[in-house]
Structure 1
Amino acid sequence: MVTNPWARNPWFETVTEAQRRAKKRLPKSVYSSLVAGTQAGVTVNDNTEAFKELGFAPHVVGVQPDREMSTTVMGQEISFPVMISPTGVQAVDPDGEVAVARAAAARGTAMGLSSFASHPVEEVTAVNDKIFFQIYWLGSRDDILARVQRAKEAGAKGLIVTTDWVFNIGRDWGSPEIPEKVDFKALLRLAPEIALKPRYAMDWIRDGKIIIPDLTAPNLPPTVGTAGPTFFGAYYEWMNTPPPTWEDLKWLREQWDGPFMVKGITRIDDAKRAVDIGASAISVSNHGGNNLDGTPATIRVLGPIADAVGNELDVLLDGGIRRGSDVAKALALGAKAVMIGRAYLWGLAANGQPGVENVLDLLRMGLDGVLMGLGRKSVHELSRDDLIIPEGFERSYGDA
């Protein structure tokens, strides 16, 4: 019997293994875009390493036989406290955001969809009814409002406004080169990379036809079916749009009558301002280390922020989640749920939709194991008492 040399192993046992398979399958420039951080990479590394400094204080008697993991975030019931964070152009798999949305729906959770996604919001909401549409402050207020209205008509349940971004272009270990569009010239230049990754190339051939990765932003036009700008065209407009003020965010909140998240909070005073404008949720986030390098890991600043505003809105954590134990640590410090980015993209690269489901299953099983070890019956019971927090671990700033 001849085996298919490109057949995918249907299961991996860790997110680290998903990352290894992603690196093995993807062309170098594509993989680099999934791991790069800003400047020296201090923050992207601290996001993951900080979790290792936290320990658990387990109960070994009285283990609960059944453990509850469901929760509600921004008005949506999810089966366990892990959501999909919005990420831009997902050229690691032809089905991109649609495959991710299906995986999230199959595991009973919600998804944030980027304005810079490669698939229209209408296609994504068609396969998952728990979609939060993410926007950058790009263009005029009228442009933004039209984008928001389109997302609402498509069935998006909430908005995520991303504020954590600095337009740095230099990374000490090199930045991946991404073409303006995938045309003959770009394919010719990338051919040596792609030739070394035949499995990736084969995935972009269906029914004898080559699928060209879409590097446009189809969710930026106000109506479905209208051609979107190229990724870099949209990025250039974003760079040249004045960043939003709190008054701008308050205005947008007034235009949207559903759940509303401000993503990018690392200061207590900013968290309180989000409460003041009527936000439903905040994401304690540093854009996965792709913002201002030197910002502390999000797990370090989570606890003080959750203590300050956790009774007034949903507090989520975004950044560095690789294991179910990481999820448990975030919940114990006051997060309602976490959002994952790189982890699910590695799963998508490793095995498409089943790979994303695999990552979600690993996080769920890991979280369940921690609940069992701690003697907790529910994710809602997790608290600081379950953690060993070393002196000086947490960072707190902006508390006037």
Structure 2
Amino acid sequence: MKIKGIMQRLTGLVAGLTLASVMLFAMAGNAWAEDKVYLKDGRVLEGEIIREVNGSIWLNYSIGGVEQKGAFFAAGQIEKIERDVDSAPPPSGPIKADRGSTAKVSAKRPGEVRGVVMTLEGTVGIQFAAKALEEAIPWLEEQEVDVVVLKINSGGGLLLEIQVLHDVLINEYKKKFRTVAWIESAISAAAMTSHVLEEVYFMPEGNYGACTGWSGALKAMEGRGLEEVLYLMEGASAEGKKAYQIMRSMQIEEPLSYNKSKDGEITWYNTEEGEFLVNPSGRILTFDAVSAAECKFSKGTADSLEELTRLLGYPEVNWLGKHVPGEIFPISKAEEGMRAWRKGVTTAEDKFQVYFVKYNMSVQNAQGARDIDERGMFVGQARRHLSVIQRAVKNYPNLALLQGLPDDWFEQQHEMLRDLMRDP
């Protein structure tokens, strides 16, 4: 689908917001403890090294809440330094089975059906991401999983992630597993993601729809960009064996109605001519559990895993995972991975602006340094901060898109730092 232009416009909007955030962080000051200094007298100080010459340092730190700025420590006083100890973002990687006694469930019994529930929550493109789904596949295959239930609770997110999610769901999950959606709340990009799945079940409080796109100063998408997204979702509707008129009414203010034949077949209209009016003209469609079931958009409503098992048509499913108090389904290794992903990317996203502010400050200090030794110290700091940003982007690639970073941005920064170290 040709939605590159839409991605660029959306990315540009987010990048603008990000720049404003960077400016706010910069004005807030520089109070992030990242360096740990071990002194020979036994003290351990946490703060930020703001200058370093021949092993001696100047350190911003605090004692009992009293900030000490630019405290000097000679090289002979210092045992060792740990740099950026709190900066590295949590790593991301494939979900692996424990290699102890629970590395693999026992061999499948004849007729046994194995299933897992995996949650997709948060912002689509950040916490709710294709990469997290991809990383779960090897474990699901190793455990011979038959059914994957994607329990969805999201208010939407980034348009640019929808096609990537579609690709993973269509080319991987639907080919390897019976993959169904269990809807707690799927709004905007979350509903658009789920739309390629043939089987959609609701929780009693579930809602699904409101798939409008926004750009600029919260201006509804229009023109060519809107047409491209409508076209994208026509294809998604066909893949999910759904009438395209349904999603169209969720995207733009078009009515939706249907007729039902004596044998239960439904014919949809983007007009009000049908016997049953689902969405009047001038509104954006959002299904609740009742309306979705009435028109057969959903396959049913389930408040528990037992109810869902029955709706899926199984007398019994071996739902893999540990039973945890307060959870309505067993927590499998795959679900642990999804939760770890969300925690990791949220931490990295929260700290990302800090990484950029510290990097930019180090670069500015290097540019204003009085001599090559001082410049080298600040360039070294800048390189450390840049490496933290690179690790975050490697683990969570969409963070680079949110920042509006071009593909060659890191290469440009490394070249600029090399230039700073060349003699004038």
> Same fold, TM exceeding 0.5?
no
Structure with the bigger percentage of strand: 2
TM-score, with normalisation over the residues of structure 1?
Answer: 0.31
Structure of greater Rg = 2
Q: Which of structures 1 and 2 has the larger relative contact order (alpha carbons within 8 angstroms, sep 6+)?
A: 1
